Amino acid sequence: MDPSLWWYVVLVLLVGLERVAELVVSLRNAKWSFAQGGVESGQGHYPFMVVLHTGLLVGCLVEAIGADRPFIPWLGWPMLVLVFLAQGLRWWCITVLGKQWNTRVIVVPGLHLVAAGPYQWMRHPNYVAVVLEGIALPLVHTAWITALVFTVLNIPLLAVRIRTEEAALTSALTK
């Protein structure tokens, strides 16, 4: 196996392990949120989100290996930097939201909106990380079909997700 492809497989597997870490944090935070009277919204789109994000990781590997995609330095290195920046932004969001962060939409009534960290500049910075990663991770090893398919499928998913979050937050803040 080409050394660049081997390193790419390691990168994608590490991102997969990062997702597992997110799920561990999410489960812990969900338990806390429900204990505080948290209300979940948007359960219908959640399975599609899980499949799409898993598909991103699988697609990266299948396309890079199966289609023998090359590592092109002028594209791959900047995309790798974007992958790391996206991970940094994601964990900044997780850290700032603390127990309120979750992969599901669970809102605890009575808590205030977080306006610190990246949330002082934008409403949904975690989704900037998702979009960046969905484009950059596949393009590290020129898996352009995966980047395109993920992005096209992610657009309507994010629209539903953001509407769901906004409605849940508005409902919790007005009570």
Task: Give the pLDDT confidence of 79-126 residue by residue, as tens digits.
Answer: 999 999 999 999 999 999 999 999 999 999 888 889 999 999 999 999
C-beta separation of 139 from 75 below 8 A: yes
- Per the structure block, which two tokens stand in for 10? 């390691």
Contacts of 139 (CB under 8 A, 6+ apart): 75, 76, 79, 147
Spatial distance between the Cα atoms of 111 and 138, rounded to a whole number of angstroms? 37
Q: Dump pLDDT digits (tens) for 26-57.
A: 999 999 999 999 999 999 999 999 999 999 99
HSE at residue 101, side-chain half, CA atoms within 13 A, is: 19
The predicted structure's pLDDT at residue 175: 54
The predicted structure's pLDDT at residue 2: 87
Could you give the residue ranges of the DSSP H alpha helices within the chain? Answer: 3-35, 46-66, 73-97, 125-139, 144-174
Residue 39: its H or E element: strand 39-41
- Per the structure block, which two tokens stand in for 166? 């906004």
Number of Cβ within 10 Å of residue 133's Cβ equals 23
Share of the chain above pLDDT 90, in %: 90
- Total tally of structural domains belonging to the chain: 1
Spatial distance between the Cα atoms of 118 and 124, rounded to a whole number of angstroms? 9
Mean pLDDT (the chain, rounded):
95
Confidence of residue 171 (pLDDT cuts 50, 70, 90): confident
- Per the structure block, which two tokens stand in for 37? 């009277």
Average pLDDT over residues 137-145: 98
pTM of the model: 0.94
> With 70 as the cut, is the pLDDT of residue 174 above it?
no
SS3 at position 116: coil
Domain housing 71? 3-174
| CATH, residue 48 | 1.20.120.1630
